[in-house]
Structure 1
């Protein structure tokens, strides 16, 4: 029986430099036991360096790292009670799936028969029962990834680390495997730290997302909070595409702010809006297109593209060119059509100017 022991993760004022380059200036974060937390951000933001320090593949320049309350800052990787699932799967090509899963168990001193029994259990856990005899080359990409997950889980780590685990899979397979990983994490209750640059992936699997920029935390929170209440234009645009529009806050009524965009007033959810200049982050699907001359923001369609389930537009307005996704219109409006734009209630966030 695989019995994981979920541990907490704490970074205390951790920094990491490579020569004159500072990858992580001063990072403090806490990951609760039994949660799946995603480190998300663009290339070079520091997410992979953070994961490698947690794995023991890099050591901090300063600060402390604790796993399950134990200081592991300077411990080697094999003494940290973590397991890692790599982007490349890192399976031994000459070994069967069963032997790949059993390898770490045997290396840690478990008798061969016990290791193979536990490896069989691990393969069953990820839906590969009866396939242990196959070589990696005889498995699909998704199956190879599941072997890699089983190999990591049978070691019963306090923390499972996943480094861009789905990047080698096609889009449809990524959706399926990410669901399997999330279901497995919730069923077994292990702590997982998941690194990706894919926003949809992060939204789908995470209890909590930590968005990084320049080696620091730009914003952290539940997926819905980050998507619907971004703290900055960077977060709004990174957590799914957004139009960032200049506006003016002209009033506050309860938990709504009255904002003015191109002379048109809108009500936006905001508890602590201050009067004055600000910005709105508007999701492409949160703009309604109407006939020219109606109430709203006047605009002219620059480009129109019919994509089956929706129509995409670029519309020129007084507040800039806006990208709009319309799921309601069965036929697209052509370029050079004059229109009026109105903002929907959802998908609009007020952010600092």
Structure 2
């Protein structure tokens, strides 16, 4: 565990702007040395939550505790946190080393020691030897790592990252998010990470907190949220899901037997009772076979080849299914009648 890492606790935090309530009674704990992602659509409250943690906004009610210290009303410069902004906010006239050393010198450290720590910071993020380059001479991913190094050398209890990859193209985002996760796990710093990108959250997080309308909709590990969504909103927001009405025929211990259009399937019961229910079915959990007569039947209405898989839309009496099929060698043409089957994984009862 990094000795500088601290916990974060929100206790019944509320934030209002005039008559508008942005955050409703938020209670959340971030354990030391973990990376927790605040995820949700625009306007859900994730950025307001991060700004309150940074001291850029103050709660209307409740408490914020960092490393056991109540910081609720402390200004930003009196909190032991560092922030990596969406724009990186690097000084264009300073080279990488000077950018990383700036905060250290501003806090009173002598120039020689600040330079040594800045060189070590650049080495930590894989930029050793690039200290003399200006931001304009670096790639987007390298600029992002300079911003992370500048924050890390201050040895904060908590590192805050606000949409840090949004300015990068898709391929670079994948690479840099891996670098951030590897760095966090190696150095064991506490991080709170804001994004609207579900794949990004799944890739970097120890815990994901999904927010909706200023409240926590669900929190848990990436696997928990993907495989056991608590609601239709979570099922569709964390990855894509087909939300289908079903009949819960029988519940026996931890297992439930459900029927969808006459097709029976066994899934984790999750506390459900016999009767009507809803099933979240991931696009990759659906199988399609050409057939004219089946218990759960449909017709292909759209097919798109994407290299390593084909995306289908299949019309059924219960609505349109979105299907991802890796069987690119046996494409199904629009108009084909199909029998719809379900795999073992990627299917969950949802309880809203």
Residues 101-116 of structure 1 mapped to structure 2, 5 A cutoff:
101-116=100-115
Q: Distance in 2 between matches of 1:122 and 1:296?
A: 61
Instruction: Write the distance in 1 (CA, Å) between the matches of 2:299 and 2:63.
Output: 55
Cα offset for 1:26? 1.0
1:59-83 superposed Cα distances (whole Å, 9 cap, x missing partner): 1111110000100011011110000
Report the alpha carbon displacement of residue 295 of structure 1 after superposing the two structures with TM: 4.5
* Cα distance in 1 between the residues matched to 2:293 and 2:192: 49
| Structure 2 partner of 1:71 | 70
Structure 1 unaligned runs (5+)?
A: none
**TM-score of the superposition, structure 2-length normalised?**
0.98
Q: 1:164-203 counterparts in 2 under 5 A?
A: 164-203=163-202
Shift of 1:4: 5.4
Q: CA deviation at 1:294?
A: 5.5
CA contact (8 A) 1:306 1:331 kept: no
Q: How many Å separate the matches in 2 of 1:295 and 1:225? A: 33
Q: Does 1:39 align with 2:38?
A: yes
**Structure 2 gap segments, 5+ residues each:** none
Distance 1:303 1:131 in 2: 50
Contact 1:36 / 1:194 at 8 angstroms: preserved in 2? yes
1:200-240, Cα deviation, whole Å (9 max, x unpaired): 11001100000000010000000000000000000000000
1:10-159 correspondence to structure 2 within 5 Å:
10-159=9-158
What SS does the aligned partner of 2:4 have?
Answer: coil
TM-score normalised by length of structure 1: 0.97
Give the CA deviation at 1:272: 1.9
Moved more, 54-63 or 246-255: 246-255
The equivalent of 2:343 in structure 1 is 344
* Contact 1:31/1:37 (8 A) holds in 2: yes
Judge which range, 50-59 or 11-20, deviates more.
11-20
Question: Retained in 2: the 8 A contact 1:9–1:65?
Answer: yes
Q: Secondary structure at the match of 2:256?
A: strand
Give the secondary structure class of the aligned counterpart of 2:128: coil
Distance 2:223 2:263 in 1: 28
Question: What secondary structure sits across from 2:258 in the alignment?
Answer: strand
Alignment of 1:262 onto 2:274: no
Kept in 2: contact 1:85–1:161 (CA 8 A): yes
CA distance in 1: counterparts of 2:66 and 2:256, whole angstroms: 43
Q: In 2, distance between residues paired with 1:257 and 1:62?
A: 43
What is the distance in 1 between the residues matched to 2:23 and 2:228? 26
Distance, in Å, in 2 between the alignment partners of 1:193 and 1:43 is 18
Q: Distance in 2 between matches of 1:329 and 1:104?
A: 53
